[in-house]
Amino acid sequence: MKYEIKNLTKNFIINGRTHEVIRNLNLSGDTDEITVILGKSGCGKTTLLKILCGLESHDSGELIFPKGKNLSMVFQEPRLMPWLNTFKNITLGLEKSDIDKNKILSLIELVGLKGFEEAFPSQLSGGMQHRAALARALACEPEMILMDEPFSALDYFTRAAMQKELLLIHEKTRMGGIFVTHNIDEALLLGDHICIMADGKISHEIFREPSEGMRDLLDEKTIALKQTILSEFERTIQ
Amino acid sequence: MKVYKNILKALAVPAAILLLWWLICRTGIWSSYVLPSPGKVFFTLVNMLGSGELSTHILISLRRVCIGFSVSCILTFILTVAAALFPKAVPFYSHLLNAVRHIPPISLIPLFILWFGIGELPKIIVIVLASIFPVLLNTESGIFGCDEGLIEVGKMLGFSKSRIFFRIMLPNAAPGILVGIRLGLGYAWRAIVGAEMIAATAGIGYFILDSQTLSRTDKVIAGIIVIGLIGLITDRLCFLLEKYASRNRGGKVKNGEV
Ligand SMILES: Nc1ncnc2c1ncn2[C@@H]1O[C@H](COP(=O)(O)OP(=O)(O)O)[C@@H](O)[C@H]1O
Ligand SMILES: [Mg+2]
């Protein structure tokens, strides 16, 4: 399914002064591809995702976007409920009657938490908590998910493993979404469609051939892309 | 082994006090009317427990505490749900409640006797006034101190306001609520004993005052010890509950463990 964001604008009023965080942002894409939004911290990425999933209002613009049950979000922090075990955290958004135990167990296996169904968040490592948070978003079987720098707090090895898993999940379920990051390598690894966000809008878009399996960050095409992205950032700073 | 050690530690100081008490009685500085010997108090206690004299009073006091404290919990629940679902209503009563909080409930007894007589109602009201504030304040700070991030998860999952309250804010506040319950029960127990000393014909507070008029200091001391013991037992039970409720919160309830 196609989604579209047209002329989105969002201002925050801080101490009586208006701060324009998003101005005339346009973006469109498909719910089954991974769109990466790449931008410096503070450029409004979180605000954009919150607007898309209804946690924040916007001032003007039009959103043609999945809503409610068709959309879920993975936050920057795992945000698990400390009093619920892994299984119950993952099924938090489902009605009791809708819980298909086998489906959830295979989802738990997919995110690599098999054997930890009964563990509480305080008994999981940071990486495992992020996996549980991802599974919670997937359990609702939305049309697409929004991910707000979900791996930025993780160490290099855990992050690499999670990126691999995310691509694997995408391949298996064909569920895509918007992935926000400030990490260029992460954007290059995950995105079929990379959007650079600066000055409150999408300043540059890159479309790539859908990849088979993991992308190689060291192949010539990718290195060239990285240079394009870097020079694009240079340009927007000036 | 560790349990035995802890029990021994807990008993050491009371045992020393008991010994001191016994020694003072042996010297005969004070008459046994002023300070009866530990042995005498112990036999009085055993006798009264055997005859059921004490247990009727204890049960009457406990019953009052249970009723009054339940009312406190129900009122807390109603006020907190109201504040969560209709935050605009809060300014209408918050300052009033804050003022009432500072009035010692015992000081209201003369008025209550005037209005309600010396039946059960004034005692229940005293317990409610004594116990509701620790419960209410701890519940409110637990509920409204909820991490905004967890609430956003609820909104993201499409929860309604009441669902966010019952599925996220309330369980999140459970350890805090139990702290309030533990404090509130202690306050309730203290208040009922006081209230029964002023206006009652039964209950452990009445029993102590009555024993004093009959010059039975041994019964007075036995009664006081029983009050302390019951307080200790309820507090321990609440503490265990509290520990159970926060068992997954990553080792917060480590100190204070007995
Ligand atoms: N609730 C808020 N109130 C006021 N200003 C905010 C709020 N949330 C974000 N901002 C401002 O919006 C800008 C973008 O923030 P954010 O979307 O969190 O950036 P990013 O996620 O890209 O790091 C920041 O300058 C921040 O100060
Ligand atoms: Mg952010």
Residue of A nearest to B157 (CA): A93
Residue B104 touches partner A, C-beta closer than 8 Å: no
* pLDDT of res. B233: 94
pLDDT for residue B28:
84
Task: Nearest by CB to B171, from A55, A73, A83: name it.
Answer: A83
| pLDDT, tens digit, 9 for 90 and up, residues B149-193 | 999 999 999 999 899 999 999 999 999 999 999 999 999 999 988
Tell me the average pLDDT across B95-123. Answer: 89
Q: What is the CATH number of the domain that holds B44?
A: 1.10.3720.10
Q: What is the mean pLDDT of residues B99-124?
A: 89
pLDDT per residue over A17-35, tens digit each?
999 999 999 999 999 899 9
Q: Which residue has the higher pLDDT, B255 or A63?
A: A63
Of the partner residues A55, A73, A122, the one whose CB lies closest to the CB of residue B248: A122
Mean pLDDT of A38-46: 91
Structural domain of B15 = 1-30
- CA–CA distance, B154 with B177 (Å, rounded to integer): 21
- Mutation target to probe the A interface, by most A beta carbons within 10 A, among B155, B157, B241 is B157
How far is residue A170's CA from residue A189's CA, in Å, rounded to a whole number? Answer: 13
Percentage of residues of chain A with pLDDT beyond 90: 56
Mean pLDDT of A116-133: 92
| pLDDT, chain B, mean | 90
| Domain-wise residue ranges, chain A | 2-70+145-237, 80-141
Indicate the residue type of A98: D
- Regarding whether B79 and B8 lie in a shared domain, the answer is no
Residue B189 domain-assigned (yes or no): yes
ipTM, two decimals, is 0.89
DSSP state of A211: P
* A137: closest chain B residue by CA: B157
Residues B26 and B44 in one domain: no
CB distance B150–A122 less than 8 Å? no
Q: Is the predicted pLDDT of residue A87 greater than 70, yes or no?
A: yes
Q: In the predicted model, what is the mean pLDDT of residues B6-32?
A: 90
Point out the least confidently predicted range of A76-90, A150-164, A181-195.
A150-164
Structural domain includes residue B114: yes
| Mean pLDDT in residue range B5-27 | 91
Q: Which amino acid is it at A49?
A: L
CB of A148 closer than 8 Å to CB of A39 = no
The distance of A19 to chain B (nearest Cα, Å) reads: 23
DSSP state of A204: E
Are residues B69 and B20 located together in one domain of the fold? Answer: no
Its pTM stands at 0.84
In whole angstroms, give the CA distance from residue A29 to residue A43: 21
Number of domains in chain B: 2
Residues B22 and B42 occupy one common structural domain: no
Long-range residue pairs from B81-84, CB within 8 A, at least 24 positions apart, any chain? B81/B165, B83/B140, B83/B144, B84/B143, B84/B144, B84/B161, B84/B165, B84/B169
Residue B72 has pLDDT above 70, yes or no: yes
Flag whether residue B148 sits within 8 Å of chain A, measured between CB atoms.
no
Q: Are A176 and A35 in contact (CB under 8 A)?
A: yes
The residues of A whose Cβ lies within 8 A of any Cβ of B are 53-55, 68-69, 72-73, 75, 77, 79, 81-83, 92-93, 120-123, 140
Residue with tokens 């159970």, as numbered in its chain:
B244
CA of A31 to the centre of ligand 2 (A): 22
In a domain, B133, yes or no: yes
Pairing of strands A17-30, A71-74: unpaired
Domain A2-70+145-237's class? alpha beta
Closest-CA residue to B258 (of B243, B37, B78): B243
pLDDT value at position B253? 46
What percentage of chain B carries pLDDT values higher than 90? 65
Residues of chain A above pLDDT 70, percent? 98
Q: Judge whether residue B230 has pLDDT over 50.
A: yes
B220 and B99 within one domain: yes
Question: Whose atoms come closest to the Cα of A149: which ligand?
Answer: 2
Query: Rg for chain B (alpha carbons), in Å?
Result: 22
Residues A155-167 as b or e (16 or more Cβ within 10 Å = b): eeebbbebbeebb
Q: Which tops the pLDDT comparison, A77 or B3?
A: A77
Answer yes or no: is pLDDT of A110 > 90. no
Residue B136 has pLDDT above 80, yes or no: yes
Q: Whose Cα sits closest to atom 14 in ligand 1?
A: A44
Q: Which residue of A has its CA nearest to B148?
A: A79
Which of B158, B168, B251 shows the shortest C-beta gap to A81? B168
Q: What's the confidence (pLDDT) of residue A37?
A: 95
Q: Does the pLDDT at position B89 exceed 50?
A: yes
CB B57 within 8 A of CB B204: yes
Residues in chain B: 258
C-alpha span between A188 and A36 (Å, rounded): 9
Task: Please tell me if residue B152 touches chain A, with a CB cutoff of 8 Å.
Answer: yes
DSSP for residue B256:
T
